Amino acid sequence: MLPFQEQIIADLLEDPNGGVVVLSSGLPIHSLVASLLLLHHPSQGSLLILSASDSQKSSISRSLLRLLQNDNPNPNPLLPTDIPGDVLSHHRTALYASGASYFVTPRVLIADLLTSRVPPSSIAGILIINAHRLTDTSTEAFIARILRSLSRNAYVRALTDRPHAMVSGFSKAERIMKCLYVRRLHLWPRFHVLVSGDLEQSPPEVVDIRVPMTPAMRGIQQAVLETMDACLKELRRTNKVDVEDLTVENGLFKSFDEVVRRQLDPIWHTLGKKTKQLVSDLRTLRKLLDYLVRYDAVTYLKYLDTLRVSEGVRSVWIFAESSYKIFELAKKRVYQVLRADGVRIIANKKNNVVKRKRVDENSLIKNMENDGLQLENSSLSNKMDNATMEANVGIVLEEVLEEAPKWKVLRELLEEIEVERRKEDSLKDEQNFADNGGDNNDIVLVVCKDERSCLQLEDCIIKNSHQVMRQEWEKYLFGKAELHSLQKRNKKRSQDPKGYGVLDGAVASGSGENSDPSTISKLENDALLAAASEISHLAKEEIAVRNESQPLSGRRGSAKRRCRGRSQKATIKARDSRNNRKKSAHKDETVKASSEATEPEARSAVLENDLIDSCIGDSDKSFLQRHSHDSGGSESSDARPIPPVQFYALEKDEQILDIWKPSVIIVFHPDMTFVREIEVYKAENPSLNLKVYFIFYENSTEVQKFEASIRRENGAFESLIRQKSLLMIPVDQDGRCIGPTSLCEPSSVVPQNSLTRKAGGRKTMEKEMQVIVDMREFMSSLPNVLHQKGMKIIPVTLEVGDYVLSPFICVERKSVGDLYQSFASGRLYHQVETMIRYYKIPVLLIEFSQDRSFSFQSSSDLGDDVSPTSIISKLSLLVLHFPRLRLVWSRSVHATAEIFASLKANQDEPDDNKAIRVGVPSEDGTVEDDVRAENYNTVAIEFLRRIPGVTDSNYRALMDGCKSLAELSLLPVERLAELMGGQKPAKMFREFLDAKCPTMP
């Protein structure tokens, strides 16, 4: 454990009430929590850990096990375990009283605190991870308030490593301290004297490699930045957001979207479509910058094609002046469309339509029928070649397949590392040096941002870079071909359609250098389809060869010769598909690639949702260690060996350095948080010879984003230091400024007409308000706010409703998002139906967020007609179907608490035992408190109420006068008139029953 970590623990233990610790990103929170667990003794009580993710739980357990190997003051400590919500209540009570450490969810703990399942004296304190997520209305703040009221000796300690999130709101750090009832704020930035001294005492050897971007990548980056700047300028004209935040540097971070939406959410319903689209476009442009340096050229082009389809109509950024460069340069990185004589096809500036010569397809078909040959036969290929050469010069699809510059650098770097290691081993053998205690590991750790990049880099190492690009290119072509086939099936085509023969390798030829833009698009699409057809023919031939168990090399060579002849003379060629197939034998994977093409709608999030489910883990280490032995099998003979390689994806958020203990780390996608983890890892292992390589794209947004993240964190700590010097925490209340106190009680509860003759005008003791809350509702912040208002919260499991305010009032609470989902699934209809069945006053509460607009849509968007997709129309139909249902609109959770208080006025308090039994059948099948149907057949009642003449005023009399619908149908008109209260409804009822049933003709 480093000295600065020991100082943090000492500062926390100094204050018995606890405190809030803010660390720089990457500093080990899990080690601090493990140390606090190690110092905890069961005699103090149980220690509860809240809001920890699964990866944080595993990191804390591993750190605790590592600390247990050293000498510690607490022998035989227990590792923390989870307390799930499905454990029986008396078992949870026993666990709380055991004095051990547990991970517990806030929803389970607050319910146990409110139901007195947690002995107050048995809790030593709570540890809250990710304190930056806390708010005044969060469940963790609710737990702290209840715990402080039950036990003054329990401490509350909160930790976070997201300093920029602690300054995102107005005095957020101060508000978090007040809601946790703590007085101490501990700030530990990277530039702290103790932290910098410990981490810089034995720094690792760092090599900064700057890789130049290709001209196309630089052009795309410049075009995206210009487009983003144009969108920001357009957004500034709205005068709706703070201009200081609208900078290109801030736009590189994901939090920029949250900042803009936070400012626009209260007025979102008043904004125009263009402004809303600009906010979405900025997020798309940020992804384009990120994906440019992360993914290969073919995947980037595939993502752009998806954007063109999904956002081409409504997007604003596509119509910017520099946006066309993004698409054009992305295509140039993958392929180019040329004439067979090498002349590049460009758009005609005068927009003159140039006539195109076509191959006489009818004559080719006629010749094919006369000769009785198939398309694959060489005689037909010769006829097609001759006809095409006579027609005109053909169109050539020249594959570029630009490889990522980092790939080559990574390969060369791994070879260089292996050469240096072998030299060091030979020197050690000559000098008879002993091993250094086994501290140095042979594994080279390559760190990427996502799992897809890890798998792709692994393929680059096992095979070669060009082979990986060929695989991506084939997937791209197969996607184009399948999309084209889907479009053909969906359209009604004539018997002899236009463009016949495109998928068989024949493409229309252009007669000049300049062509119309639409002509270029058509020719380009035809060339892509023809290239896809060529690859599919090769795949089919290889499948046939495999099925016939023939030698693969002979058929592949003939397939290549046949394909080469067709592409050179029949208007399409794929240059790299010949030369590179001589070097690599990877065509077995083209069949698998054909199943991966999907429609554009399904590929709208091709990069976000197409990530692999699992990254390379510990079990794959032995597989990766074979790189140094068999990596040359798929590459050229001059490939040099490489060391064992292990890949790690930063998105997994796991502490892996202490597990793998690498001696060389290659940071392929630099990240500030991981850099700090490397520094801590080296400081904890000073004897380790650690070498770190950082691979950056020179003059790229990747460097700009990395440097801006450091500046942003330093600025956040400077702001927190200023806030700490101005903190106002009342000492006499233990920091309690939020919650019910004697000083902040509302004066409205005091009767205005109190008389002095009645007990001297002293206020009478009022009964405490009670609200029965469903257990599932503790995921929201409303129970916390109700408790702040002085109401007693009774958590139970309800079958009907979410909140029970009185014996007659039941409330079903819906947020805006939940309301849309409930209407779509039909769940809301069933919930309202059950509430009306068991309660006299059913209420549907629609609660909006405090920082969002208090409206579903703008008033200008409201239509006059009923629409099945409109939420207003659905609500109207719901109220018409259930007339007794009451709708309550709330602006925020605080407004909801005020509404509940007004609804409970002059009402009896609810009984939790009765509320639990509502809607639950007993052993004999009857249901208690069924106020509407009284255990009658509800289906028959619904049928009865729809018969003409039956109204809300007489249907109960009909139910009391007969036992079934069959008996009711036999009653005479006179008896019906007595039960229904008049002759007119009785005649309507009888005429309906006696009416002749229409027969089918």
Rounded Cα–Cα distance for residues 919 and 421 (Å): 73
SS3 (DSSP) at 597: coil
Q: What's the pLDDT at 85? A: 77
User: What separation in angstroms does the CA of 723 have from each of 290, 728, 736?
Assistant: 34, 10, 18
The count of domains in the chain is: 5
CA gap 478, 943 in Å, rounded:
57
CA atoms of 25 and 677, how far apart (whole Å): 9
**Cβ-contact 318, 311 below 8 angstroms:** yes
The answer to whether position 892 is within a domain reads: yes
Residue 883 lies inside a defined structural domain of this protein: yes
Q: Which domain CATH number covers 846?
A: 3.40.50.10130
- Residue 602's SS3 state is coil
Please, which residues have CB within 8 angstroms of residue 315's CB and are 6 or more apart in sequence? 277, 281, 284, 307
| Helices 106-114 + 139-150 axis angle, to 10 | 30
User: Nearest 10 degrees: CA dihedral of 436, 441, 444, 446?
Assistant: -110
- Is there a single domain that holds both residue 418 and residue 476? yes
Within a domain: 19: yes
**The tokens of 694 are what?**
């950082």
Gap between the Cα atoms of 324 and 309, Å rounded: 15
The verdict on residue 315 lying in a domain is yes
H or E element at residue 369: helix 361-371
d(CA 830, CA 801): 11
**CATH at residue 985:** 1.10.150.20
The verdict on 777 and 834 lying in the same domain is: yes
Same domain for 169 and 289?
no
| Helices vs. strands in the chain: H and E counts, helices first | 38, 24
Give per-residue pLDDT as tens, 742-791: 333 343 444 444 445 555 555 555 667 899 999 889 888 999 999 988 89
> Are 691 and 789 found together in one domain?
no
Between CA 273 and CA 276, with CA 274 as vertex, the angle to 5 degrees is 65
Sequence letter at residue 367: N
Q: Are residues 160 and 81 in the same domain?
A: yes
Using DSSP bridges, classify how beta strands 841-847 and 514-515 pair: parallel, antiparallel or unpaired. unpaired
Same domain, yes or no, for 229 and 179?
A: no
Tokens for 37, please give them.
Answer: 């667990």
Residues 269 and 188 reside in one and the same domain: no
One DSSP character per residue, 39-57 reads: H--GGG-EEEEES--HHHH
- Under DSSP, is residue 394 helix (H, G, I), strand (E, B) or coil? coil
pLDDT in tens, 9-31: 999 999 888 899 999 998 999 99
Among 304, 323, 339, which residue terminates a domain? Answer: 339
Q: Give yes or no: residues 295 and 246 share one domain.
A: yes
Residues 189 and 260 occupy one common structural domain: no
CA neighbor of 842 nearest in space, from 814, 809, 874, 803: 809
pLDDT score, position 553: 43
**Last residue of one domain, picked from the residues 682, 699, 716:** 699
Q: Domain check: are 163 and 35 in the same one?
A: yes
Residue 714 lies in a domain: no
Q: What is the 3-state secondary structure (H, E, C) of 701-715?
A: HHHHHHHHHHHHHHH
Rounded CA separation 624/647 (Å) = 9
Structural domain contains residue 812: yes
**CA 617: distance to chain centroid?**
22
Same domain, 170 and 219: no
Does residue 185 form part of some domain? yes
Terminal-residue alpha carbon distance, the chain: 91
Residue for token pair 């990185």: 333
- Whether 889 and 944 map to the same domain: the answer is no
The verdict on residue 379 lying in a domain is no
The parent domain of residue 816 ranges over 770-854+869-917
Which residue among 699, 727, 743 closes a domain? 699
Tell me the one-letter amino acid at 313: V
10-residue mean pLDDT profile of the chain (1001 residues): values are 91 90 92 91 90 89 82 62 84 89 91 88 91 90 90 90 87 89 92 92 90 92 87 76 65 66 69 79 86 90 86 76 86 81 52 34 38 36 36 64 90 90 79 51 87 90 86 84 69 46 42 44 73 73 65 40 33 36 35 33 37 34 35 46 88 85 91 92 90 91 88 92 83 47 39 50 65 90 91 91 92 90 88 89 89 68 67 86 90 92 89 85 54 59 84 82 86 88 88 77 52
Q: Which amino acid is at 117?
A: R
